[in-house]
Structure 1
């Protein structure tokens, strides 16, 4: 079990631009998120070197068929596509949640890559909400030869 990291080294100001980081090999399009992730790793004696990139683009083809666990927390809130596009270009906190039509604008792009990223024993975890139609996502992944299931977690 990986312990919950300490965030004492970050200020309230830092969290205006990012979600709290909790990753090992990580990428993000948001430079504030990569900085906070690196600092969180240092503060918890975990050497992290977050990569500032769009999804996995800076790591291909090196990552092909070598990812054992892929965890993706995309911008999944359903918004107008133009709102999602402005958020992704604007470098604001909205880029972390504005997901466009069906909340799937960024998720759809990663789903196209999952099969080529996962190792033979690889697992893929995706954070989604009902508006993202998780069962349809699973069907898409099954069409690519992968197996999937939905978990209904509720945090109280």
Structure 2
């Protein structure tokens, strides 16, 4: 069992400004670890995490896969999160390149169909559209959880561009909760020629968390 990355360099003050790893983070780590052999056999060359927060997930993946053969990229709309991600990478001997940006906006063209491992623990909490928009505009910690209608407004924006990012044999891991309508996510992505399944789910208080994995449908 791979340990959770060392976050001892981050302080309480950091976690006022950056999302602190919680149950949604840990179920994602468990899902990735359960797929360790598959991911190691995939031998990804480019890993991209959207919304990296503290950098915990990308540091974990770096330990899972090794840092010598894969380029670890992250984005986060929160500039403080980008700094924390880089420092977490250094703390755990995983070289992470972090970009302060909304979703995949500066990378979409350069990484077109080249991302072998794509990870997103999105802002999935249902809020008003106005609250989600304000959280994104403020570029603060609220952007890590305020998801708009059904918790899907920010996620939906990203999923529409997913086929343009993922490599032919790439894997996409997504965290969601029941209110996001998990079956609708699968149906919508199937319309984009992406097949998926729930690889892990558990209750955490009032939330029912899911980790989903998607791959391209390669048959005609």
Q: Do the structures match in fold with TM over 0.5?
A: yes
Structure 2: state its 5+ residue gaps: 20-53, 59-71, 205-220
2:37 match: none
RMSD across aligned positions (CA)? 1.6
**Alpha-carbon separation, structure 1, partners of 2:182 and 2:164:** 21
1:151 shift after superposition: 3.7
**Alpha-carbon separation, structure 2, partners of 1:119 and 1:91:** 29
Are positions 1:154 and 2:188 aligned together?
no
Superposed CA deviations along residues 27-75 of structure 1, whole A, max 9, x for unmatched, are 1111111010000011111111201111111112111110111110110
Contact 2:108 2:164 in 1 (8 A): no
More strand by share: 2
1:60 match: 108
2:152 match: 104
Aligned match for 1:86, one of 111, 125, 134 = 134
SS of 1:50's equivalent in the other structure is strand
Q: How many residue pairs are counted as aligned between the two chains?
A: 156
2:31 match: none
**Alpha-carbon separation, structure 2, partners of 1:91 and 1:116:** 25
- Where does 1:118-137 land on structure 2 (aligned, <5 Å)? 118-137=166-185
Aligned match for 1:40, one of 85, 88, 113 = 88
Are positions 1:25 and 2:59 aligned together?
no
Change in Cα spacing, 1:134 to 1:57, as seen in structure 2 (3 Å) is: same
